[in-house]
Each structure stands twice: as structure tokens, then as C-alpha cells.
Amino acid sequence: MSANRLSWIIATLVVLVVGFLVFRTLRNDTSTRTASMSMPRSETSSPGSAMTPRSSGSDTAGARSSAPRTSSVERAKLVLKEGGYYDGPINGNYDPPMIEALKRFQADKGMKPTGYLDPKTYEALGIPLRRQRP
């Protein structure tokens, strides 16, 4: 086998592996989804609580839900908007208006106003943290 042919085979394999890794990363990354994730009021448990879809209990093991998944930033923006802290668009962007809203929320709750979505802030917002996939 010539060196030229071998280099083409190696280059093709590298491109395939990198393409697969990029595809897998984009498929699993919820922050790349930009669709609006507003839910009807009937889906919420109370005005200041986290926005979580109801479970019908009919899901089978391994089956994916047809409900759209929201990122943690989107859920935080929804709760902050309901509380009157945030007035911007509900999306997965961690933007300056979101940071300012978090600082106001944290100060009102007696927390250090950092503007970060740390575990204590999630708890104060009433948002359960999801386990990250390995």
C-alpha cells in the first residue's frame, strides 16, 4: 500500500471520528436549542415554582418524552420572569440582563449577589438540578 493511499485513509478516519464527536456533542447540548420553551399556566404548580412538565406515568423505560427539554438557564429565566426580576427573552443565553436579574434575586433572598447560577441559587429558585451525562 502506498504512503499516499495510507494518508488518505487516515485522514478519512480522522474526519469521521471528529464528525461523530461533533454530532454527539450538538445532539446532547440543550443550550444549542433556541426554540421558545414557554409552557401553559396549567403546567405549573405555583407562580414562584420551577417550570417542570408533568409526568404522565405512561412512559416506558428508555422511551424519550415528546415534551421539549429546557436548559437550566431557560428554567431560571422563567422563574425570574414570574417573580418580576427578569424582563428579557426566555432562551438559553446567559446574558447581562440575566446576570442583573440574578443579582437582584440573590440580594432579595439574603444571598451574596454574585449573578452566578450556583446550586444554592437553583435551590432558592426552586429548580431541581439534573444529573449531567458523562
| pLDDT beyond 80 at 42 | no
Coil/strand/helix, residue 40:
coil
In a domain, 58, yes or no: no
Which positions ≥6 away from 21 have C-beta within 8 Å?
Answer: none
Average pLDDT of the residues in 111-128 = 92
Number of domains in the chain: 2
Residues 72, 133 share a domain:
yes
What is the DSSP code string of 69-118? P--HHHHHHHHHHHTTS--S--SS---HHHHHHHHHHHHHTTS-------
The CATH number of the domain holding residue 83 is 1.10.101
Average pLDDT, the chain: 76
CA gap 116, 11 in Å, rounded = 42
Q: What percent of the chain has pLDDT over 90?
A: 43
- Domain holding 134, by residue range, is 67-134
| pLDDT beyond 70 at 10 | yes
Residues 130, 72 share a domain:
yes
Instruction: State residue 83's pLDDT score.
Output: 93
Instruction: State residue 21's pLDDT score.
Output: 85
Burial class (CB in 10 A: 0-12, 13-18, 19+), 60: exposed
Residues 84, 24 share a domain:
no
Instruction: State residue 38's pLDDT score.
Output: 40
| pLDDT beyond 60 at 49 | no
Residues 134, 71 share a domain:
yes
CA gap 32, 71 in Å, rounded = 9
| pLDDT beyond 90 at 62 | no
In a domain, 83, yes or no: yes
In a domain, 91, yes or no: yes
* Chain segment 75-88, per-residue pLDDT in tens: 999 999 999 999 99
Residues 74, 20 share a domain:
no
